Each structure stands twice: as C-alpha cells, then as structure tokens.
Amino acid sequence: MNVDTKAVADLVCRVLSGMTETAQEKTVPIGVSNRHIHLTREHLDILFGKGYELTPLKDLSQPGQYACKELLTIVGPSLRPIENVRVLGPLRKQSQVEISRTDSFVLKVKPPVRESGKLDGSAGITIIGPKGVVSLAEGCIIANRHIHMSVEEGAAFGLKDGDYVTVEADGERRTRFYDVQVRVNEAFRLEMHIDTDDANAAGIGNGAKVRIVEA
C-alpha cells in the first residue's frame, strides 16, 4: 500500500493548526488583584476630610476603574494592622475591603468568598485614614475567581453572564481553577481576576494566559 506522505503531513498540520486555534480562542489573560479598598463618599470624607477627592494614579484593565494614590490601614481583631492598602476608584454605594485568605489569618477575620458587591453577612473590619477611622460591620470579602467579558467576547466563547467555568493555568505549578464565575457586560474587557494567593499557588502573574477547559 502506497502512502502519500506529503498528504499525511499536510493533514497532520491542519489538525494541529485547528487544535491551536481552538485553544487560542479559549485563552484569557490574567489580572492579579492585591488587597484593596472601595469607598463611599461618606467614608472618604471621614478618612481624608470633608470634600476630599481621590487622586487617580493609573487606569486599571476594566474601563472606568482606576488605582488611586491614597493608601489606608486595615485592622481586625488581631490588632495587627496591614498598612498601605490601596484605594480603587470610582466611589461606590457601599464600602468594600477585598483581601486574600493569607491576609485574613493576619487580621483574624473570617471573610466569605463572594462576588464583588455581595456584602450581606460578610466580615467586619476597621479602616484607618489620616483624618479618621471607619469601622465596617460588614464589607470585608475574599473576591471569588471571575472572568470579565464584553458581550461580544461572551458570545464568541459561548458563555453568558452568571455561567461558571473551569480554567487551567500552565504556570510553574500547573493548576486548575474550578467554579470561576463569568461576568459579561458591554463595559467589560476580557480578563480573569484572581488574588495573590491563587496567583502564587499557580506560579503565574499579570498578563499570563489561562485556558477555559470546561463550561
């Protein structure tokens, strides 16, 4: 039986090319979120003085979001403060402190893993600023793993807002992240957000590419 080796080689190349394209279609860049704080107008006034305005430092990956020059201190029951926690803008309707599990051990707080903004029953924490102190009865969370997508990107991935997927990271320590929430909005830009604990565990950093392997 004569085998056309060139035809076989061409077929293999096409198959591999198709697999690569498929994998690339499912890749998502990583954004690592360090501990940070979102503030209301009321709490900004208490912490920095009446009428104070945030000072934008740099734009973040999601349109309209930015890191500020302002830094604050957070304290929990351990009375071991964590200093230089950055404020993110713009202002929100409810103040929120996002930390990692490692941070929670230092502070001796028990924040739930939550979607940003879902603060009912979350942990309390104290925020110390140059002009005052705010004690939150609730508002401290560990952010859940999630992927931001535009409406067009969601359609391309075959995903909708509120879906959950499994994501694989090929870092120094190959890892799969389960129950990653998909957040689709016309204002979003494609990026998966994880905290420093997850990033360190997988050996990946900002800009690394991960793959959606199950939807």
Domains of the chain are 28-32+145-214 (2.40.40.20), 34-143 (no CATH)
Instruction: State the pLDDT at residue 97.
Output: 98
Does residue 5 surpass a pLDDT of 80? no
The answer to whether 93 touches 109, Cβ cutoff 8 Å, is no
Instruction: State the pLDDT at residue 10.
Output: 56
Does residue 20 surpass a pLDDT of 50? no
The answer to whether 176 touches 129, Cβ cutoff 8 Å, is no
Helix (H) or strand (E) holding 85: strand 82-89
C-alpha closest to that of 38 among 122, 151, 102, 161: 122
Instruction: State the pLDDT at residue 148.
Output: 98
pTM score of the predicted model = 0.85
| pLDDT confidence bin for 6, thresholds 50/70/90 | low
Helix (H) or strand (E) holding 38: strand 36-38
Does residue 90 have a cis bond before it (omega within 30 degrees)? yes
C-alpha closest to that of 100 among 53, 32, 166: 32
Return the structure tokens found at 26: 């499912």
d(CA 207, CA 211): 13
